[in-house]
């Protein structure tokens, strides 16, 4: 199925401008001999509110909706997942899993290729999926994903739009919403106190972005 190529090309340009794509991951950086546990921060625009927080096995799942929307009949959603004690998971595996889930839930689904790079010295990846019609809700969905592989945990954030079912090309997402989505994805940051490879804010270091 040939879906949304213009959307993906435009998105790649936005990612490059935001610094979320372009550099090849460097997997040969040395580990600190003794290091404290890494920490993460996730910033969202004020209109987003946390509506649910749960743990499934070793995965923390936090869901956000804009004010005025509910879990029943939502249009916009952000999901942050933290896979505790999970390391060295290839980004391609995460992309394939998200595509498999969409294909199982939808009449038809596709995914973009990966955009990879480094974020504060950690491997980071971006991709997107499109679902023409969810079999349960009857609605289409478009989602942007970003993964960030820490030394202790794996982090993944996704921005999802629910919309009327569509065919070969999904409805156009307003430019302001796409830019906000990129800002949301880039709002996930991981650091390691005392590390030169992954410095925390205000700490000198040698991190690559």
Domains by residue range for the chain, with CATH: 19-25+37-191 (3.40.1000.10)
209 closest CA partner among 123, 150, 144 = 123
Strands (E), 84-119: 109-111, 115-119
Average pLDDT on 87-103 reads 91
Predicted TM-score (pTM) of this structure:
0.83
* pLDDT tens digits, one per residue of 141-187: 999 999 999 999 999 999 999 999 998 777 889 999 999 999 999 99
Alpha-carbon distance 59 to 86, whole Å? 9
* pLDDT tens digits, one per residue of 44-78: 999 999 999 999 999 999 999 999 999 998 999 99
């Amino acid at each position: 199925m040939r879906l949304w190529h213009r959307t993906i090309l435009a998105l790649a340009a936005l990612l490059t401008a935001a610094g979320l794509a372009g550099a090849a991951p460097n997997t040969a950086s040395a580990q600190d001999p003794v290091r404290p546990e890494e920490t993460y921060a996730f910033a969202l625009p004020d209109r987003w509110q946390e509506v649910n927080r749960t743990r499934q096995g070793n995965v923390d799942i936090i869901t956000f909706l804009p004010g005025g929307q509910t879990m029943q009949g939502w249009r916009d959603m952000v999901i942050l997942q933290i896979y505790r004690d999970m390391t060295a998971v290839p980004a391609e595996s995460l992309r394939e899993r998200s595509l498999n889930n969409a294909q199982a839930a939808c009449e038809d689904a596709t995914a973009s290729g990966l955009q990879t790079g480094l974020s504060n010295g950690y491997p980071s990846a971006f991709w997107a999926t499109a679902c023409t019609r969810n079999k349960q809700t009857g609605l289409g969905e478009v989602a942007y994903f970003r993964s960030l592989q820490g030394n202790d945990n794996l982090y993944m954030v996704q921005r999802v739009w629910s919309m009327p079912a569509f065919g070969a090309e999904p409805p156009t997402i307003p430019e302001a919403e796409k830019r906000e989505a990129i800002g949301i994805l880039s709002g996930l940051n991981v650091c390691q106190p005392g590390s030169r490879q992954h410095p925390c804010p205000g700490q000198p270091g040698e991190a690559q972005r």
